């Protein structure tokens, strides 16, 4: 263990002897040839204070990096749970909306079915009416009286009226009443 540290040919770096196996414990790590050579170099060149500051910076940087990664992981996890909660809420809203749309579609289908049934019924009624109209015989709108009076002009009416001697027109109403009374007595 009393070997001197091997420097590179130009003296700018340390030549370490590399072992083929990796140390499995902390004690073996400290006793590995690379680390032993590093410790010897620091001790021989009186660099303990500088080495401590360098190692302290490295350790602090690693701790800060670990803490930052841990914080980011925690933040991502919390955001992940928030996102999952939001996703769950959105999924529930989508499910409710889908159910609502399905109900509305069912209502619309029922309304359309009712309208189709009404239309079919109306078409059937129209068809029956057309068939009934085609099979019925045309009836006259007003019955024709057999004793219809012929149309007489005003001039013909004036000539047909009998006149009395004094130039007055004779009344036919009195004769008609008398004839009706006679007919009633006979019955």
| Nearest CA-CA partner of 64 in 56, 52, 54 | 56
**pLDDT at position 187, please?**
62
At 10, is the secondary structure helix, strand, or coil?
coil
Is the CB of residue 61 less than 8 Å from the CB of residue 44?
no
Is the CB of residue 58 less than 8 Å from the CB of residue 65?
no
> Mind listing the pLDDT tens digit for each residue in 75-91?
888 877 777 788 888 88
Helix (H) or strand (E) holding 42: helix 33-44
Is the CB of residue 26 less than 8 Å from the CB of residue 32?
no
Given a cut of 70, whether residue 30 has pLDDT beyond it is yes
> Mind listing the pLDDT tens digit for each residue in 64-79?
999 999 998 888 888 7
**pLDDT at position 147, please?**
60
Stretch 97-113: mean pLDDT: 86
Q: Does the predicted TM-score (pTM) go above 0.75?
A: no
Given a cut of 60, whether residue 186 has pLDDT beyond it is yes
Higher-confidence residue of 164 and 104: namely 104
Higher-confidence residue of 185 and 60: namely 60
**pLDDT at position 137, please?**
54
DSSP string computed for 109-171:
HHHHHHHHHHHHHHHHHHHHHHHHHHHSPPPPSSPPPTTPPPP--HHHHHHHS-B-TTSPBPP
What lies within 8 Å, CB to CB, of 162 at 6+ separation is 169, 170
Burial of 36 (0-12, 13-18, 19+ CB in 10 A): middle
Sign of CA dihedral 174, 176, 180, 182: positive
C-alpha 181/C-alpha 143 separation (Å) is 30
Given a cut of 70, whether residue 169 has pLDDT beyond it is no
Stretch 170-176: mean pLDDT: 57
Lowest mean pLDDT among 13-17, 38-42, 150-154: 150-154
**pLDDT at position 1, please?**
45
Say what percent of the chain tops pLDDT 90. 9
Burial of 35 (0-12, 13-18, 19+ CB in 10 A): middle
Higher-confidence residue of 146 and 57: namely 57
Average pLDDT of the chain is: 77
Ranges of each domain in the chain = 1-46
């Amino acid at each position: 263990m009393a070997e001197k540290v091997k420097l590179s040919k130009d003296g700018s770096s340390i030549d370490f002897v590399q072992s083929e196996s990796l140390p499995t414990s902390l004690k073996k790590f400290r006793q590995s040839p690379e680390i032993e050579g590093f410790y010897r170099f620091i001790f021989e060149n009186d660099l303990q204070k500088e080495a401590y500051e360098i190692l302290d910076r490295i350790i602090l940087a690693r701790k800060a990096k670990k803490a930052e990664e841990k914080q980011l992981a925690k933040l991502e996890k919390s955001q992940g749970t928030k996102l999952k909660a939001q996703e769950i809420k959105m999924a529930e809203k989508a499910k409710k909306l889908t159910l609502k749309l399905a109900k509305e579609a069912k209502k619309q289908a029922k309304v359309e079915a009712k309208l189709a049934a009404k239309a079919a019924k109306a078409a059937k009624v129209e068809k029956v009416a057309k068939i009934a109209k085609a099979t019925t015989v045309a009836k006259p709108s007003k019955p024709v009286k057999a004793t219809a009076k012929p149309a007489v002009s005003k001039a013909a009416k004036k000539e047909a009226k009998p006149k009395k001697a004094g130039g007055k027109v004779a009344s036919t109403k009195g004769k008609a009443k008398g004839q009706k009374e006679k007919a009633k007595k006979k019955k």
